[in-house]
Chains A and B, each alone.
Chain A
């Protein structure tokens, strides 16, 4: 510690802008300030841009934390969580929180952000009307989404559409109301707005444009919305996402100059020399900002001033807009209004759903709108920022960088061709040169390192691919994009490589895999052998001979081992349906073999527990007499298809859910999968079969069958993702089978479908199963082929004598020796 006390820096607000400012400040002037932060939200600094992926379920809150508690401790920051500052006393230079904490400051930074705009209509205070701003809002939406009822999102801008997509992904029936004729009119021209609306509607979200909300209906809780034209839209949740306004109230009460936002100069200084403001609450050069790139620029400027460098100044620049809705790609930057002296180049590809428009003035790009294919966004933006004269390449400009000057289509080459000052990360304003410089000077080798040192791809992550390409270019072969986790200690290869090589090298036995892939052990281990056995069964169903000794005991003896070494037996009950004959046969088995416990399972069947291994074949023989086959309750394979009673019985049923469940189970039983696979079919959205937490689920609706997948209700709890809606039972079966086959071919052994889906991305699965008919059929056909070899009842095989050594001791010795 120095003799002079540290200067006291107090920050009001703990969002992304002050967080970034502190990072820069600690780098520029370490140890200069004692920092105190008051955060009205009861948590640390997280990435607000990523709230939409949290809402849609693609990310968890923990994944979007920017500064964990450890960071505050490491930098000696006092963080008051859940403390709202009520007053600033500029004379005494103190601030006071709603919990009565008063702190004095030498320098004060106001970063109170923004508040959502609430449209002043009757009913705006009803329960169920919320905004979309912070994690609490997301949690409120997730809670509301559990009802799977109707939601209305007011506002068809960036935030509103992201909220709508998230709620829809969570199973709500969503309508977007937008006051203008086309969506996102501030960032998109009408043509792109139209394409966007079509894409949004294709996902099942209703869009009403030119919609003026008259009032929100309901007594205590919201029940619907009434529009000016008299239309009424029922809803149990209303999300207002019509815009934000700077949160400048505190500054105004303290007597600082406030216009739309807190007025600051280009150095982020307010009208009080000891108080700065930055972020969404600040107004600089008459503008207020809401996108992260300019806010981070403010943070950089503020940090420089706090560190004593008075030269830093904020300058306005256009920020590209991207929508974070999985499966919808759009990009816009600059000015693209029609005006005199402007020309435009437009490319449309209706079948591929692509629209690109460049707005030119004096042979320079001044605006860009890209929809569908946004790969060249960064390049167009670079030309725009640079003011490059494009007359030389005008004819091919719209086709993108790859078509210019005969340069190759290799994406790495395109990145190599970018100049050093080309912007790679728009959120954090990081250019190529800075990334390359950090990699070489600091010896960085991993993506995480590069993120930590440069911030590139550390916010929205959409430039991760570009950053990785730069790393490949800079590091050459030493960069290993995904340092893989080896399968086990027997090999350095990861599961994905092994799967790929099994196919590529046509390896068709475990010894062949171990030989060709240079296994380090002669015989493998209990981790890799079952995995290899599965991969081979899956990839070569007709040629590979199952290696019985590489299966876990349950799959070897077709029953579930219990803690005392006895087994449990679960016969298949198709779709959870049984009858008196079957129940009588089970009762007889229970009596004959003194079965200690009979238990109904969660998958709608009956479990007989405590059966001695030696008795298994006899138990199966009796069950087989009554028509039972193995329920494969022990398998990494298809387990149950749970159903509700559906339209045959239920007054709410929309389709024959029981029949469909049985049909799926009869079609798919016996198939091995990377991990267990549990399914369900519910006859209506009331979802009595709990299909929305299964590996694969179906919700029947009047218009057809909504296919769900990637749910979990075990170690993790996760609602399903919606794959899509199909009209007929046949289509439902085809899609489910194709999805399962894709999972079978791609997942790592023991990886449940939700983890696989998270890894490969919902987009890709959606594209291959929903959009690509040929691919889907091919998956379906491969599954059907493999079933020819898989659908053999293992119980009846063993009743007929297969593996009989397994069920009896080799010898019994010692008991009668004295007598003999």
Chain B
């Protein structure tokens, strides 16, 4: 399986403690930037009821879903606290501010 790194933009396109969406053929990806300037990418789809996690409040390395306040770890994609569930995390690379995500399925999707 080859890692297919795709450029999505600059880190400064995302507000600190904020998120932006990246559209892909297999659904939206939420790309987060924390207060500490770390970046994370996860599926933009809460494991609870599918809420758009990119719209949540970012705190530490977690986001609170805007629909029902589930808290999802940006590092693991797992729900924190008493809730159970998980979203897919997506590999992301930060080259001096230039951001890339790796989408293995994407090449397939595009090739078909």
> Chain A interface (Cβ within 8 Å of chain B)?
521-526, 529-530, 548-554, 557, 561, 563, 565, 805, 809-815, 817-818
What CA separation (Å) do A809 and B110 show in the bound complex? 20
What CA separation (Å) do A522 and B62 show in the bound complex? 12
Q: Which residue, of A521, A550, A814, has the highest number of chain B Cβ atoms within 10 A?
A: A814
Contacting A813 at CB < 8 Å: which of B15, B23, B50, B51? B23
Subset of 13 A-B contacts with CB under 8 Å:
A524-B59, A526-B69, A549-B15, A549-B17, A549-B57, A551-B57, A553-B57, A561-B52, A811-B23, A814-B24, A814-B26, A815-B25, A817-B106
5 closest Cβ pairs, A-B complex: A526-B64, A810-B20, A811-B8, A817-B110, A549-B17
Q: Chain A binding site: helix, strand, loop or mixed by DSSP?
A: loop
Task: Please tell me the size bucket of the interface on B.
Answer: 35 or more
Q: Which residues of B contact A565 (CB under 8 A)?
A: 50-52, 55
| Given A523-B17, A810-B9, A810-B20, A553-B59 contact (CB < 8 Å) | no
Contacting A563 at CB < 8 Å: which of B13, B67, B101? B67
Q: B61's closest neighbor in chain A, by CB?
A: A523
Excluding A525-B64, A810-B31, 15 further A-B contacts by CB distance (< 8 Å) are A523-B17, A524-B59, A526-B69, A549-B15, A550-B17, A552-B66, A561-B52, A561-B66, A809-B21, A813-B106, A814-B26, A814-B103, A815-B24, A817-B106, A817-B107
Q: Which residues of A contact B97 (CB under 8 A)?
A: none
Decide if A809 touches B57 in the complex (CB within 8 Å): no
Q: A803's closest neighbor in chain B, by CB?
A: B15
Q: Which residues of A contact B31 (CB under 8 A)?
A: 810
Give min CB distance, B112 to chain A, whole Å: 8
Decide if B57 touches A530 in the complex (CB within 8 Å): yes
- Interface status of B18 (Cβ within 8 A of chain A): yes
Interface residues of B in 66-103 (CB under 8 A from A): 66-67, 69, 71, 101, 103
Decide if B57 touches A811 in the complex (CB within 8 Å): no
What CA separation (Å) do A800 and B33 show in the bound complex? 26
Give min CB distance, A511 to chain B, whole Å: 10
What CA separation (Å) do A711 and B23 show in the bound complex? 45
Contacting B23 at CB < 8 Å: which of A525, A530, A809? A809
Decide if A818 touches B64 in the complex (CB within 8 Å): no
What CA separation (Å) do A550 and B24 show in the bound complex? 28
Q: Which residues of B contact A550 (CB under 8 A)?
A: 17, 57
Decide if B20 touches A526 in the complex (CB within 8 Å): no
What CA separation (Å) do A522 and B35 show in the bound complex? 9
| Given A526-B69, A549-B18, A549-B58, A811-B9 contact (CB < 8 Å) | yes
| Given A561-B66, A809-B20, A811-B9, A818-B59 contact (CB < 8 Å) | no
Decide if B23 touches A526 in the complex (CB within 8 Å): no
Number of A-B pairs, beta carbon distance below 8 Å:
105
What CA separation (Å) do A529 and B35 show in the bound complex? 13
Decide if A812 touches B22 in the complex (CB within 8 Å): yes
Interface residues of B in 3-41 (CB under 8 A from A): 6-9, 13-18, 20-26, 28, 31, 34-36
What CA separation (Å) do A668 and B99 show in the bound complex? 44
| Given A522-B60, A552-B66, A814-B35 contact (CB < 8 Å) | no
Contacting A523 at CB < 8 Å: which of B24, B55, B60? B60
Give min CB distance, A708 to chain B, whole Å: 33
Q: Which residues of A contact B47 (CB under 8 A)?
A: none
Q: Which residues of B contact A554 (CB under 8 A)?
A: 66
What CA separation (Å) do A526 and B18 show in the bound complex? 13
Q: Which residues of B contact A811 (CB under 8 A)?
A: 7-9, 22-23
Decide if B60 touches A521 in the complex (CB within 8 Å): yes
Give min CB distance, A595 to chain B, whole Å: 20
Q: B65's closest neighbor in chain A, by CB?
A: A526
What CA separation (Å) do A818 and B22 show in the bound complex? 18
Contacting A525 at CB < 8 Å: which of B18, B35, B59? B59
What CA separation (Å) do A674 and B35 show in the bound complex? 26
Q: A812's closest neighbor in chain B, by CB?
A: B23
Q: A820's closest neighbor in chain B, by CB?
A: B110
What CA separation (Å) do A657 and B99 show in the bound complex? 58
Decide if A553 touches B21 in the complex (CB within 8 Å): no
What CA separation (Å) do A805 and B11 show in the bound complex? 13
Q: Which residues of B contact A815 (CB under 8 A)?
A: 23-25, 110
Decide if A810 touches B14 in the complex (CB within 8 Å): yes
- Interface status of B111 (Cβ within 8 A of chain A): yes
Contacting B8 at CB < 8 Å: which of A524, A548, A553, A810? A810
Q: Which residues of A contact B6 (CB under 8 A)?
A: 813-814
What CA separation (Å) do A522 and B49 show in the bound complex? 29
Decide if B57 touches A814 in the complex (CB within 8 Å): no
Q: B30's closest neighbor in chain A, by CB?
A: A810
Give min CB distance, B50 to chain A, whole Å: 8
Q: Which residues of A contact B15 (CB under 8 A)?
A: 548-549, 805
Decide if B49 touches A553 in the complex (CB within 8 Å): no
Decide if A809 touches B22 in the complex (CB within 8 Å): yes
| Given A565-B51, A810-B14, A529-B59 contact (CB < 8 Å) | yes
Give min CB distance, B13 to chain A, whole Å: 6
